[in-house]
Structure 1
Amino acid sequence: MSVVPRPEAAAISGSASASAAPGPWRLPASIRNFVRNREIGLVLVAVVIGLLSGLLVAIIWHASEFAHALLFSIPYGTRLSANGVIPWQRVVLVPLCGGLLLAIISVFYVKRFKGQLADAIEANALYGGRISMRGSLLISLQTLLSNGCGASVGLEAGYTQICAAFSSQLGRRLAARRADMRLLVACGAAGAISAAFTAPLAGAFFAFEVVLGAYTAAGLVPVIASSVAAWLVMRQLVHPSFLVVPGVPSPVSVEMIGQIMVIGVLGALFSIVVMLAVAFSERAFQRLTVLRGALRFVVGALLLSGLAMLTPTVLGSGHGAMQLLLLSNPTWLMLATTLLLKTAASAISLGAGYRGGLFFASLMLGALVGQLYSTVLGPIFPDVALQPGTAAVAGMVAVGTGVLGAPFSMICLALELTGDFSVTVGGVVAASMSAMIVRELFGYSFATWRFHLRGEAIRGPQDVGWVDQIHAATLMRTDFDTASADLSLGEAQKLFPPGRVKHLVLLDAEGRYAGVVGSPEFHDIAAPGDATLASIAQQHDQFLFPGTSIRDMLAAFDRSEVDLLVVIDNAQDRRVVGTVSEAHVLRTYSNELERRNQELYFR
């Protein structure tokens, strides 16, 4: 039973080692020591990250608005999805030209950045918070181009990517420890979401739930500091107004809570449908061989333009359309049609290769689900049905939680966007129901689901990269005892008296691995006769390779039920290079776990 190292383990190790190379320069030692040894130093760095994040988000936001105004001939500052009249020529040509430009970038540049396109979640899970700046700039540019040409994707992917990348670069200049590096990346992501929605609490909890993977007292102040700093900068530079909920919110009552639970269930199921739709779209584009490469952008752009000809609300991330639909009291047919078309547009955009996220789109889709529920139920039960604004917020929180996998972030977002506690109570119930159902039925958020489709064993941003960076080559002993497999038992008893060795690694006439024999096994034979060590050898097909990770080593020991495994160079030559004991592997794994826990909760 051989244990072959997973192919991604080598890739992870290679990417980590590449990104671990020291940068061209570092900040002075006095500054590095101050940040490393004093909590206030890390907080000050987080504030700098927050200020920079707010500035970067404002720049990208203005660039997107300028692109929409220029390319679609709409007033600057108005939301693309809220413009009811856009010349059909622009609806057709702009996404098509944008798709062609992205195709050129994909063909000539993306392959050059292979292994450098990890986002904040993947970087924190596998690479200890190390993010490539060049790869992040490419991702942010692709996201801006995708959104600017009208693709049904959000800018949050670009916001988070570039802010986290700058945070990671600053951490490298400070020679930050692995735990501090991951925390700084979380600070960048918190600043990005805080500035994008002008919601500092939502940004902070987004960092804890989606990027860091845990809430800790040690990380609270830096993350909050970054989030608030980014929020202040964004308010000064953009003055955004995100959501106005019309009408009088429904009072908190038993009827309200019951209906909110129903909306939470509907939102959870719909969020699963959205994620499956994106996965289906990606597979459909990949399976059609004629569409491989640049042509898929063209076909995706044409499909998107066809949907936009029916309603421009499918263009862009959907902020303006969501607000417009909340204020215009639409019919159930309009809501249902917009819901289906927006879902299709988002799935087509992402499947065709446009860069972006589902965060912004999920908020619009969730608001449509809640508003549709209220619009359908209102005429039937006018005295009981939820007010449309309350139902829309509950649906927004439910679908956002299902897609994002961050219930507290969505609850805080509802509170900060509406400023109404009674509405937020509904959001708490909807988020709880959605999180439970999606976790039970689906098991993934959108980000971790996409990792699963790529073959990555990532279920969240928790730091698991260190596990795959400890290999058999780093744990094996090279001072093992060997013997010829043809050696007689009598000779072996004379050459290796009791107590001198515990195990003998057997080699055949050509020096290849031929099994393992324990010392008690050949000493317990009183009359060995002409028998050789090969006759009692075990573990002929049980061995490890130098690149086998500690996770796979533990699994191998469980399956083989032995306390020592041999490490060979490759399956063809079978040259023994070392031995690994189960006790040593368990001790190393336990020590590393304790070390990570200490880094997580204490500085």
Structure 2
Amino acid sequence: MLNRSIQTLKEYIGPLLLALAIGALAGLGVVIFRGLISYGQEVLWPAGTNFAEQLQHAGWWWKILIPAGMGLLIGPIITFWAPEVRGPGVPEVMEALALRGGRIRHRVTLITTFVTAGHISAGAPVGREGPVVQIGSSIGSSLTQILNLGRDSRRLAVACGAAAGIAATFQAPMAGTLFAVEVLLFDLEIASLSNIVISAVTGTMVARAFWQGAQIFEIPDFFMAHPAELLLYFFLGLVAGLISLVLMGAIFSLPRFLRRIGVPDWLGPALGGLLIGIVALYCPWALGVGYESINAALAGKVSLVFALTLLVAKIVATGFSIGSGMSGGIFAPSLFIGAALGSLVGLGAQSLWPESGLVPAHYALIGMGAMVSGTTLAPITAVLTIFELTYSYQVILPLMVSCIASLTVVRLLHGYSIYETKLLLKGVNIVKGHEVNVLRGMRVGEHMSTDLQVLRKDAPFSEIASAMEQSPFPHFLVLDSQDRLSGVLTLRDCRKYFAHPELCRPDTTAKLVMVKDIVTVDEETDMETAFHLFARHNISFLPVVNSNDPKIVIGQLKKTDLFAAYDQYVLKERLLSPLGWVCPLPQRKSD
């Protein structure tokens, strides 16, 4: 009983302590990351009370030189050392979770931190949120790899790191938790939720220890002047959905253009920096993370023309930045564009109905959530993010109306979030379903059998018949004299010889009867691919060959092996044996 109790404590307490460590390290990583950005802005730009003012004090040539020069410096690092750092960062975490069991290279933590800090310091109009998700996830993945933990523990650690990163950035543990589940497509088990919450709360507390009393946004007191305002918020959500599609188009059209004109990947960020610098000449407020401009919108200090200028400039500059291959998130640009769009709608409605008591700043706040919902297709995360910034229950209903409207428009007209779209363009289809992602993350080499049934090419039919009779699984690999694969032989191939023995001649050997057109896999093939091969070719087993030499057999994968692997990871209940401390409980029957 004592040993079982200790084992149970290890199974519960170990993951919780790991989640606590991941949350603390991810929170510390966010603090260091933001510190690097602030230091870089102080070094690269003239003095000012905020980044927008620093840009305004800089000369026109400096506004072009710094972003372009930083892109030229960092472009080769991204291209040759860590291509997964390119872009928002979140799609790469999704891919690692679904296809590689949460395995992320150790170098990603440091390279993402310094590369993205450099880009944002130089004025790139991207967010900190995507990179901190990648930083936190990389920390979680690296810890589990160092501790040599299994696939499930690694995937959970990646989700914990992502939640802690978002939570620390916005001081919003609930939003961080939902982000890990809703955006990263993490196939959550209820028992895992406590680990993610612990990481998110720990990351938030670490960040607050360094930013005590710091406020990200100056949030206005929210109220609804009239219930009919919900119609305006619904309209705002519809427009936010359309603008989300425009933003995606701006981001994904530039890479196609750069490839068409032959610009190498390592030079893309430099060209993007040059284009960003040109935008800075006309609208410096659109560069950087942009929280100063968001606060201006939330304070109601933007005019109709200025809001429109910010909206257009931010879309263009973000498209140039992320589209050219710079590292940076899409979350903050979505908040910025949503605030500008909400201000436009609010100011327009106020000019049409001046006696209605409408407050444009309220529309800026709701627009932020609507744009996040449209770009990420994560309405719950969007609602909770804004709620945790305001802690006002009155904001929830208009937020839900706008976020669902935005989500619906993107779903109907495009169907995918900005993260899913990037993966689809890479040829990676992340299916929102536990079963497919589990099979896709499993490798044939982990589940193949090395107990092989072998026949030689020159084996006479009498030997074949004897082997068939004695075998519980009459499927044989046919090898030549040098143990190289020549074909496969099954009971189905011998059927006509058993039905008509007169067809057998002294020279009827395995070479004559076997199937020479062989379907094979190697040990690194994922189980989803094997599943499709079984279905397409109507076969019962697959020879597993060496990845360097397709004629060397190292094992075989039966269709039943695939079913057993599926059962192990998806269908089988993971229950601990009851200890019976409170009352006698029935023991679980062994399989």
Report the TM-score when normalising by structure 2. 0.82
C-alpha separation in 1, matches of 2:76 and 2:125 = 20
Kept in 2, the 8 Å contact 1:213–1:461? The answer is no
Alignment of 1:168-567 (within 5 A): 168-211=141-184, 213-238=186-211, 239-246=213-220, 249-251=223-225, 253=227, 255-289=228-262, 291-382=263-354, 387-459=359-431, 464=437, 467-471=440-444, 474-476=447-449, 478-480=451-453, 482=455, 484=457, 495=466, 503=474, 505=476, 512-513=486-487, 516-518=490-492, 519-525=494-500, 527-528=502-503, 540-547=516-523, 548-566=525-543
**CA shift for structure 1 position 502:** 5.8
Q: Residue by residue, what CA displacement relative to the aligned partner does 1:383-419 show, whole Å, maximum 9, x if unpaired?
A: 6695322322222112102222322221111111123
Question: Which blocks of at least 5 consecutive residues in structure 1 are unaligned?
Answer: 1-29
Alignment match, 1:598: 574
Alignment match, 1:42: 15
**CA shift for structure 1 position 248:** 5.3
**CA shift for structure 1 position 496:** 5.8
Amino acid at match of 2:334: S
**CA shift for structure 1 position 509:** 8.6
2:555 is the counterpart of 1:583? no
C-alpha separation in 2, matches of 1:143 and 1:82 = 19
C-alpha separation in 1, matches of 2:164 and 2:574 = 26
Kept in 2, the 8 Å contact 1:398–1:427? The answer is yes
Structure 2 CA distance for partners of 1:415 and 1:211, relative to 1, 3 Å: same
Alignment match, 2:60: 88
C-alpha separation in 2, matches of 1:164 and 1:219 = 16
Among candidates 133, 146, 152, match of residue 125 of structure 2: 152
Structure 2 CA distance for partners of 1:64 and 1:507, relative to 1, 3 Å: closer
Kept in 1, the 8 Å contact 2:45–2:54? The answer is no
Alignment match, 2:588: none
Look up the SS of the partner of 1:378 in the other structure: helix
Amino acid at match of 2:530: M
Alignment match, 2:26: 53
Kept in 2, the 8 Å contact 1:504–1:516? The answer is yes
**CA shift for structure 1 position 41:** 4.5
**CA shift for structure 1 position 564:** 4.0
**CA shift for structure 1 position 381:** 3.9
Structure 2 CA distance for partners of 1:536 and 1:375, relative to 1, 3 Å: farther
Q: Residue by residue, what CA displacement relative to the aligned partner does 1:51-84 show, whole Å, maximum 9, x if unpaired?
A: 33333322222321232233221335x2437965
**CA shift for structure 1 position 309:** 0.7
Structure 1 stretch displaced more, 123-132 or 461-470: 461-470
C-alpha separation in 1, matches of 2:446 and 2:167 = 44
**CA shift for structure 1 position 126:** 3.0
CA RMSD, aligned part only? 3.9
Alignment match, 2:139: 166
Kept in 2, the 8 Å contact 1:248–1:387? The answer is no
Structure 1 stretch displaced more, 431-440 or 395-404: 431-440
C-alpha separation in 2, matches of 1:165 and 1:35 = 28
Q: Residue by residue, what CA displacement relative to the aligned partner does 1:436-462 show, whole Å, maximum 9, x if unpaired?
A: 443444333222322222223334696
Structure 2 CA distance for partners of 1:266 and 1:479, relative to 1, 3 Å: same
Question: Which blocks of at least 5 consecutive residues in structure 2 are unaligned?
Answer: 579-591
**CA shift for structure 1 position 524:** 2.1
Kept in 2, the 8 Å contact 1:278–1:351? The answer is yes
Look up the SS of the partner of 2:443 in the other structure: coil
Kept in 2, the 8 Å contact 1:279–1:351? The answer is yes
Alignment match, 1:68: 41
**CA shift for structure 1 position 143:** 0.3
Structure 2 CA distance for partners of 1:458 and 1:385, relative to 1, 3 Å: farther
Kept in 1, the 8 Å contact 2:468–2:474? The answer is no
Q: Residue by residue, what CA displacement relative to the aligned partner does 1:199-242 show, whole Å, maximum 9, x if unpaired?
A: 22212211222346245432333322332233233233224322
C-alpha separation in 2, matches of 1:170 and 1:478 = 35
C-alpha separation in 1, matches of 2:136 and 2:246 = 30
Kept in 2, the 8 Å contact 1:565–1:580? The answer is yes
Structure 1 stretch displaced more, 96-105 or 466-475: 466-475
Kept in 1, the 8 Å contact 2:376–2:417? The answer is yes
Look up the SS of the partner of 1:242 in the other structure: coil
Amino acid at match of 2:522: P
Structure 2 CA distance for partners of 1:442 and 1:590, relative to 1, 3 Å: farther
Identity %: 25
Look up the SS of the partner of 2:183 in the other structure: helix
Alignment match, 2:581: none
Q: Residue by residue, what CA displacement relative to the aligned partner does 1:27-50 show, whole Å, maximum 9, x if unpaired?
A: xxx9xx889725345334433433
Structure 2 CA distance for partners of 1:578 and 1:517, relative to 1, 3 Å: farther
Q: Residue by residue, what CA displacement relative to the aligned partner does 1:268-306 show, whole Å, maximum 9, x if unpaired?
A: 2221221232111122223322x3154433322221111
Structure 1 stretch displaced more, 571-580 or 369-378: 571-580
Alignment match, 2:77: 105
Structure 2 CA distance for partners of 1:81 and 1:469, relative to 1, 3 Å: farther
Q: Residue by residue, what CA displacement relative to the aligned partner does 1:88-133 show, whole Å, maximum 9, x if unpaired?
A: 343222213322321353477548999xx99543333333333333
C-alpha separation in 1, matches of 2:316 and 2:402 = 24
C-alpha separation in 2, matches of 1:376 and 1:175 = 58
**CA shift for structure 1 position 347:** 1.0
**CA shift for structure 1 position 136:** 1.8
**CA shift for structure 1 position 142:** 0.5
C-alpha separation in 2, matches of 1:481 and 1:55 = 57
Structure 2 CA distance for partners of 1:216 and 1:429, relative to 1, 3 Å: farther
Structure 2 CA distance for partners of 1:312 and 1:466, relative to 1, 3 Å: same
C-alpha separation in 1, matches of 2:48 and 2:334 = 26
**CA shift for structure 1 position 260:** 2.4
Structure 1 stretch displaced more, 391-400 or 377-386: 377-386
C-alpha separation in 2, matches of 1:438 and 1:535 = 58
Amino acid at match of 2:391: G
* Number of equivalences: 562
Amino acid at match of 1:524: A
Kept in 1, the 8 Å contact 2:98–2:440? The answer is no
Alignment match, 1:134: 107
Structure 2 CA distance for partners of 1:576 and 1:528, relative to 1, 3 Å: farther
Structure 2 CA distance for partners of 1:508 and 1:207, relative to 1, 3 Å: closer
C-alpha separation in 2, matches of 1:91 and 1:515 = 70
Alignment match, 1:124: 97
Structure 2 CA distance for partners of 1:481 and 1:60, relative to 1, 3 Å: closer
Kept in 2, the 8 Å contact 1:143–1:157? The answer is no
Amino acid at match of 1:103: G
